[in-house]
Amino acid sequence: MGRTVRTYRDGVRIEEERWKDFRRTLRPSQRDRFDRIFDYARGFADAGTMMVTPRIIEVILLSALLEMLGELDEIRERVQVLEKKIEETTP
Segment 5-11 shows an average pLDDT of 84
Q: Which long-range contacts (CB under 8 A, 24 or more apart) does 53-58 make?
A: 56/8, 56/11, 56/12, 56/14, 56/15, 57/15
Question: How many CB atoms lie under 10 A from the CB of residue 74?
Answer: 10
Segments making up each domain of the chain, as ranges: 8-89
E strands, the chain, where? none
pLDDT tens digits for range 53-67: 668 888 889 889 999
Average pLDDT, the chain: 89
